[in-house]
């Protein structure tokens, strides 16, 4: 471990996305040994590379516009949505790093400063890829993210910033909760990666498993149900505690089509913070 990363924040953002997918085993997710039928390891590699030009635009471009550009770059591979949530997790941290305060307070300042136009950029990113989302709350059909850029007028009429959009989803979306709460799981995960040793992808896989064993994965809740997410958490605890191997759990969840994607997103954020704080690769 060194005192400071020798790379730019944009380079470490891409490296974090790459290291996240190389972590193996990552139960239920694509990794070096597990693909899904229509989503493979190389799609994630291409997605990370495609997002790189947008990361280089920080801090000169607004966050929402940068996010849209990152997602549009990410989509240029054959798998579709690979890293929407991971980029949404990492990007505010890149802005905080450029501001000289890569900390929970610094990240909170970045997201609190987002604007209505940032919200518009976020919604326009949904025009680029299909993302699994819940139906909007009653009375908010005009703010359904699946409307993409067509929701711009409603966002402006309601004067909603991107942070306020995230507040409305924080109870049901783990990435939105990180935005609202100051990225606590991300920074805890980064501390665990730094305190660990060995190859960084192996550290990332262990942090992923610990996160999965601790909190319900909201992507599993969205794509399956609450009971499935609870069962996944219990199985992750069993794997963490040695009652089955992480590799066995990985095979089990892939076979069932259960993908704890939110946990992977937060692991990417943790890797970015750990890299910027000096974890050597």
Residue 56: count other Cβ atoms within 10 Å of its Cβ.
16
Q: Report residue 60 as tokens.
A: 């000169």
| 12-43 per-position pLDDT tens digit | 999 999 999 999 999 999 999 999 889 999 99
| 91-100 per-position pLDDT tens digit | 999 999 999 9
| 252-263 per-position pLDDT tens digit | 999 999 999 999
What was the pLDDT predicted at 136? 80
- Is pLDDT above 90 for 211? yes
Residue 104 and residue 184 in contact, taking contact as beta carbons nearer than 8 Å: yes
Mean pLDDT score of the chain:
96
The closest of 172, 136, 171, 174 to 155, measured between CA atoms, is 136
Annotate the chain with DSSP letters as a single string: --SS-SS-HHHHHHHHHHHHHH-S--TTS--SS---SS--HHHHHHHHHHHHHHHHTTTTS-HHHHHHHHHHHHT-STTS-SSHHHHHHHHHHHHHHHTT--SHHHHHHHHHT--HHHHHHHHHHTTTS----PPPPTT-GGG-GGGGGGGHHHHHHHT--HHHHHHTTTTT-HHHHHHHHTSHHHHHHHHHHHH--S-HHHHHHHHHHHHHHHS--HHHHHHS-HHHHHHHHHHHHHHHTTSS-HHHHHHHHHHHT---HHHHHHHHHHHHHHHHTT---
| 188-206 per-position pLDDT tens digit | 999 999 999 999 999 999 9
Dist. CA 131–CA 125, nearest whole Å? 10
Cis peptide upstream of residue 136 (ω within 30 degrees of 0): no
Q: What is the dihedral of CA 153, 155, 161, 166, to 10 degrees?
A: -140
CATH top-level class of 9-115+173-276 = mainly alpha
pTM equals 0.96
Cis peptide upstream of residue 59 (ω within 30 degrees of 0): yes
Residue 151 and residue 142 in contact, taking contact as beta carbons nearer than 8 Å: yes
What was the pLDDT predicted at 2? 53
User: Which one is predicted more confidently, 2 or 80?
Assistant: 80
The closest of 51, 56, 186 to 129, measured between CA atoms, is 51
């Amino acid at each position: 471990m060194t005192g400071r990363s020798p790379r730019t924040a944009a380079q470490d953002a891409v490296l974090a996305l790459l290291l996240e997918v190389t972590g193996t085993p990552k139960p239920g997710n694509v990794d070096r040994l597990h693909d899904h039928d229509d989503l493979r390891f190389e799609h994630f590699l291409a997605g990370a590379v495609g997002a790189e030009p947008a990361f280089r635009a920080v801090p000169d471009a607004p966050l929402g516009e940068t996010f849209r550009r990152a997602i549009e770059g990410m989509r240029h591979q054959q798998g579709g949505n690979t890293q929407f949530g991971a980029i949404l997790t990492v990007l505010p941290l890149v802005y905080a790093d450029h501001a000289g305060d890569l900390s929970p307070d610094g990240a909170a300042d970045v997201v609190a400063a987002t604007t209505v136009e940032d919200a518009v950029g976020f919604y326009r990113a949904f025009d680029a890829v299909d993302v699994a989302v819940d139906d909007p709350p009653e009375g908010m059909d005009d703010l359904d993210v699946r409307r993409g850029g067509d929701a711009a007028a409603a966002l402006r009429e309601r004067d909603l910033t991107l942070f306020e959009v995230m507040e409305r989803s924080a109870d049901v979306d783990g990435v939105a909760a990180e935005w609202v709460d100051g990225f606590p799981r991300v920074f805890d995960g980064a501390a665990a990666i730094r305190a660990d040793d060995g190859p960084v992808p192996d550290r990332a896989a262990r942090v992923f498993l610990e996160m999965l064993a601790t909190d319900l994965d909201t992507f599993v809740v969205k794509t399956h149900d609450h009971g499935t997410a609870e069962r996944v958490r219990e199985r992750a605890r069993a794997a963490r505690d040695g009652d089955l191997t992480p590799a066995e759990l990985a095979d089990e969840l892939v076979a069932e089509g259960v993908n704890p994607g939110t946990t992977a997103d937060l692991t990417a954020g943790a890797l970015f913070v750990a890299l910027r704080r000096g974890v050597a690769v």
